Amino acid sequence: MTYAGLAVDDGWLRTIVARRTIEAEDIVSLALDPGGPDALPTFEAGAHIEIALPNGVIRPYSLCNAPCDVLSYQIAVLLEREGRGGSRAAHELAEGQTLLVRPPRNFFPLAADGHSLLIAGGIGLTPLLAMAETLAGAGRGFDFHVCARNRRRAAFAQRLETAPFAARTHWHFDDGPAEQKFEVAAVLASAPADARLYVCGPQGFMDHVLTAARACGWPESRLHYEYFSAAPIVSDGDRAFQLLLARSNRIIEVPAGVTAAEAMTAAGVEPPLSCEQGVCGTCLLPVLEGLPDHRDHFQSATERAANGRFAVCCSRALTPRLTIDF
């Protein structure tokens, strides 16, 4: 079956846009109900779904409703005017429209132990909102810090201010008074010794928080993060390389300035793709030979050092040829 020019298989779920709500300046939320008699698959906090948008692109969005609510999936989308069209297409969706989604996957799960320090930058609050609901429901300890440019851009403000965990939610606005400004060192220092950090937001924000945590001695095992978007990759100095697809023994030439995914698509090969920014992990393929030049933000430092997988949407090769299991 094809939808908007995309090949979609039986694994996709048919949903209906049941509600479209303006949550803040440039942010809409969508509640997606089942498009048939079957209930939607369950999910856990931190999970995301991928949506096939009417303009022919697939984009991942974190689920932000409480995981105990499987009657619908709720997502929120920030309009990125300079983006590549995914958020614009999502903003144009109307109530009643049918939407195909892939079932939830979770690369950002809550650990079973420890106090949870949830830190959100902008629209990065979506997976953390589901985590806050889960932790509150389970009676576990947590603090939720939400950073936004100003009140107009603070999504879900009313929901958070009336939630049972409102007292655990701390707002930080860039244009607010000094006493509420986000001071990462103070926030980290206020956490109990067993705390785990969960952070989500734009790359600059995440780098700021994670660098501070590492500098304060937080072990890597207590840092949990998911990049919401990545800064554009600097491609100056990129070199051409060959991608050998082991299963077909086919060589794809990847010129400088062209991603491996683009070269594969131009050659009539369809790699699995979603965010196309190196943040979601959808396009990771096993490496059989050669050395990748990792540019993704999805894999941990340990995974990158192991060179076991290669993100075709953004990574390149350090060797003239890279062989992947595809």
Binding range to ligand FES, per CB under 6 A, among 27-35, 93-101, 190-198, 277-285: 277-285
129 closest CA partner among 144, 113, 111, 116: 144
The residue to which tokens 């996709």 are assigned: 12
From the list 76-84, 85-93, 101-109, 268-276, the region that binds ligand FES by CB under 6 A is 268-276
Rg (CA), the chain: 20
Q: Which of 23, 50, 133, 276 binds ligand FES (CB under 6 A)?
A: 276
| Closer residue to ligand FES (CB): 192 or 286 | 286
Shortest distance (Å) from residue 87 CB to ligand FES: 15
Residues in the chain: 326
Q: Quick check: helix, strand or coil at residue 314?
A: coil
Q: Does 52 bind ligand FES (CB under 6 A)?
A: no
Residue 161 DSSP one-character state: H
DSSP helix/strand/coil, 324: strand
One of 148, 209, 313, 324 touching ligand FES (CB under 6 A): 313
- Angstrom distance (rounded) from CA 45 to CA 35: 23
Kindly indicate which of the ranges 91-99, 122-130, 248-256, 267-275 contains the residues binding ligand FES, using the contact rule CB under 6 A: 267-275
Does residue 51 bind ligand FES (CB under 6 A)?
Answer: no
Give the up-direction half-sphere exposure of residue 140: CA atoms within 13 A in the CB hemisphere.
Answer: 21
Residue in 29, 203, 229, 282 binding ligand FES, rule: CB under 6 A: 282
Our finding on whether 326 is near ligand FES (CB under 6 A) is: no
Q: Extract the tokens encoding 281.
A: 């992990």
d(CA 275, CA 61): 9
Residues paired with 284 in a beta bridge:
311
Using the rule CB under 6 A, which residue among 75, 130, 188, 273 binds ligand FES?
273
Does position 274 bind ligand FES by CB under 6 A? Answer: yes
- Please identify which residue in 187, 264, 311, 324 interacts with ligand FES, judged by CB under 6 A: 311
Segments of 85-176 assigned E as strands: 98-105, 116-121, 142-148, 169-173
Q: How far is the CB of 272 from ligand FES (least distance, A)?
A: 7
Q: Encoding tokens for residue 270?
A: 């369809």
| DSSP single-letter state for residue 127 | H
Of the candidate residues 142, 173, 205, 298, the single one contacting ligand FES (CB under 6 A):
298
**Residues engaged in binding ligand FES (CB under 6 A):** 273-276, 278-283, 296, 298, 311, 313
